[in-house]
């Protein structure tokens, strides 16, 4: 028997069918569109596991609330003891971790779901690596001591810069660290020592931070003279040269000091950052509780890379500023103050900084980052708090609002943060 529907029943059925279709479309969108905009990697230095390795907590950031949730497989072993620094490859496919107590740099391949897969381990070219940074061609590392037989914690010496050339990734060949290539010349030297001249030539230079300009033309190292209690920034132009290594032609990396380097900067510079235009460099002074701002001589100038302090610099920060991040999409700069457990926020205009206020963190923040997908979410690694503080920042004012359920627990004594964009759309972000 066939039932005949009246007109109102037919309309109701059509409405129900339309609602079902809309629901299915929404469900499909939810399957193909994720609210995870970034994966954040937080290295924790306290030994864990059978081999006393550090740990790497992997968080995903929700684009609507800023909530940071650890992925199911997190944490991962750092494949070394006392991880203190992280950076990602230019293509966001690899994470590099510096393990200080082992003098190693470990390369991890990053899966589509944010998981880490150990790929390669190389010995640091100096002693006790403390900072790393990468561009498309090289992984640069900053070592506490030069690789000399006379250097040790009992008899410290000045630090040095090393480099691992990186192969170019293809669809079938991933990024790989190359070793054994000299730097600056064909004489086999694989590192650049941080030195002073004149009466200070025998002083011990203690490195603290490393930054590569966004355009890849130069890198800057913060350091201080532990003998004279004076701070410096070392600047180097990044180049390349042809060389014969082991009887074969090779292209090596060159680091040429910029005119005027090293530059006298405060008392105890602790961190360095630069803006997207590669026009300005910012340095935190741990001892003086301030931020110094410098303009960078452009590539068209004969003194390319030279630093000139801006009028009005330095700018007040909190006590013992420890880390700095410069937003690469919006005109804001953020500094962690380790003694105060705070973040100092600034607006940048032609390099000059204006304070936007102070925000709380967990105990002793030592690292800070901004998500690379939207530049809207900020996070700090809090060494004594054993957690991560997260904020959402306003793109129009630079002010910070605490992310949902922040702070988030990490493994003990977190030391470093790095992040990659997720391949989702981040559709929940409100502009």
Radius of gyration, alpha carbons of the chain: 24
What 3-state DSSP class applies to 247? coil
pLDDT, one tens digit per residue, over 190-201 is 899 999 999 999
Half-sphere exposure of 293 (CA within 13 A, CB side): 23
279 three-class SS:
coil
Domains of the chain (ranges, CATH numbers) = 35-421 (2.130.10.10)
Residue 368, pLDDT score: 98
Q: What is the model's pLDDT at position 185?
A: 83
Residue 241 CA to residue 222 CA, distance in Å, equals 26
**Cα(261)–Cα(132) distance, integer angstroms:** 20
User: How far is Cα of residue 348 from the mean position of the Cα atoms in its chain?
Assistant: 20
pLDDT in tens, 374-418: 999 999 999 999 999 999 999 999 999 999 999 999 999 999 999
**What's residue 189's pLDDT?**
82
Burial class (CB in 10 A: 0-12, 13-18, 19+), 148: middle
pLDDT at res. 115: 96
Give pLDDT < 50 ranges for the chain.
1-32, 424-431
| pLDDT value of residue 190 | 86
Give the pLDDT score at 47: 80
Q: For residue 26, what are the contacts with CB-CB under 8 A and spacing of at least 6?
A: none
């Amino acid at each position: 028997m066939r039932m005949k529907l009246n007109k109102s029943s037919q309309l109701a059925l059509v409405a129900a069918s339309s609602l079902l279709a809309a629901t299915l479309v929404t469900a499909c969108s939810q399957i193909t569109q994720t609210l995870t905009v970034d994966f954040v990697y937080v290295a924790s230095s306290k030994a864990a596991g059978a081999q006393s390795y550090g740990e790497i907590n992997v968080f995903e950031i929700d684009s609507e609330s800023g909530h940071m949730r650890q992925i199911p497989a997190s944490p991962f072993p750092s494949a070394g003891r006392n991880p203190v620094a992280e950076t990602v490859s230019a293509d966001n496919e690899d994470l590099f971790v510096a393990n200080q107590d082992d003098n190693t740099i470990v390369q991890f391949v990053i899966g589509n779901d944010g998981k880490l897969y150990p790929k390669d381990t190389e010995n640091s070219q100096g002693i006790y690596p403390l900072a790393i940074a990468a561009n498309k061609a090289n992984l640069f590392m900053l070592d506490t001591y030069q690789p000399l037989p006379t250097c040790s914690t009992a008899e410290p010496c000045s630090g040095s810069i090393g480099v691992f050339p990186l192969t170019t990734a293809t669809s079938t060949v991933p990024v790989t660290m190359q070793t054994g290539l000299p730097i600056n010349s064909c004489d086999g030297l694989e590192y650049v020592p941080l030195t002073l001249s004149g009466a200070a030539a025998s002083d011990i230079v203690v490195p603290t931070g490393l930054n590569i300009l966004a355009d890849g033309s130069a890198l800057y190292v913060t350091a201080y003279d532990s003998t004279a209690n004076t701070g410096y920034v070392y600047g180097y132009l990044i180049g390349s040269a042809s060389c014969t290594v082991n009887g074969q032609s090779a292209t090596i990396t060159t680091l040429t000091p910029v005119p005027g380097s090293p530059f006298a900067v405060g008392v105890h510079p602790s961190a360095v950052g630069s803006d997207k235009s590669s026009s300005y460099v910012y340095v935190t002074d741990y001892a003086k509780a301030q931020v110094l701002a410098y303009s960078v001589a452009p590539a068209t100038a004969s003194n390319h890379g030279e630093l000139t302090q801006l009028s009005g610099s330095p700018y007040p920060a909190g006590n013992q500023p420890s880390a700095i991040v410069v937003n690469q999409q919006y005109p804001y700069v953020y500094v962690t103050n380790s003694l105060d457990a705070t973040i100092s926020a600034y607006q940048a205009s032609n390099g000059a900084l204006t304070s936007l206020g102070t925000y709380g963190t967990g105990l002793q923040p030592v690292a800070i980052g901004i998500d690379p997908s939207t530049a809207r979410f900020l996070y700090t690694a809090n060494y004594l708090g054993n957690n991560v503080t997260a904020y959402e920042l306003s793109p129009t004012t630079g002010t910070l609002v605490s992310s949902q359920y922040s702070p988030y627990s990490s493994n003990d004594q977190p030391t470093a943060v790095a992040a990659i964009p997720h391949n989702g759309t981040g559709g929940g972000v409100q502009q």
